[in-house]
Chains A and B, each alone.
Chain A
Amino acid sequence: MKPGDQAVEWVEGDKLVIGFLPRPHNESMLGILKKMTGRTIEPITDWEALKERAWAARSAEVMEALEADSRRHRSAQREDAGDTKP
């Protein structure tokens, strides 16, 4: 925690959690991923293909959540139907 950091709070279950955000700054973030992870990435040449792959991957995740919801809903319906059988 440093002077100027900002506190944020939220509720988790029955607890009030307080976190501290960095103060507003003007520091350069050039190459920050390399500094944070030690990893480098190859120069990107085809931005369109890169973005398309990223959105396709995200779409697959959204579909996964929808399919999980449908499965839950169908099994709940089956359980309800089972309850009414003599």
Chain B
Amino acid sequence: MSVFCDTSVLIRYFAEDDIPRALAASVLFDSETQLVVSTGVILETIHVLRTQYDFANPVLSQLLVRFLSRRNVTVSDADKSGLIGALYWTQGVSARRISDAIVVAAAQQAGAEAIATFDEKMASPTVPVRML
């Protein structure tokens, strides 16, 4: 069985803000169920944890690397290994750059030869960045 997980389920599972409800998330996550997330869900989770609760790197990138390294987690719209590698790379920089890592993984999945941007801080360990 596979289940697509929304941002709220991820946050509650990680944060355990409401214990009975977090346990409900745990029953699903810590089972044999195949969990599916998208880059959108990952981005939203990071934006919430970073901008609303001030969690920062390396905690956030380590959290995502560890979550995506779970055997029962798949990513619907990016190469999971590429995404884990790009996220790992952001551990030493601001958590703001986690969005870049997700963009890089999507570009890699698409086989793009460059990433076009106006953001001078955009960085990529794999696909070259092209400033316009």
Contact = CB atoms under 8 A, between A and B. Distances in A.
Dominant SS at the B interface? helix
Q: Which of under 10, 10 to 19, 20 to 34, or 35 or more describes the interface residues of B?
A: 35 or more
A10 B69 contact: no
Q: Which of under 10, 10 to 19, 20 to 34, or 35 or more describes the interface residues of A?
A: 35 or more
Contact of B70 (A26, A31, A41, A50): A26
B17 A44 contact: yes
Interface of B: 7-8, 11-18, 22-23, 25-26, 29-30, 44, 47-53, 55, 59, 62-63, 65-67, 69-72, 81, 84-85, 88-89, 96, 99, 118-121, 125-126
A25 B69 contact: yes
Dominant SS at the A interface? mixed
A42 interface: yes
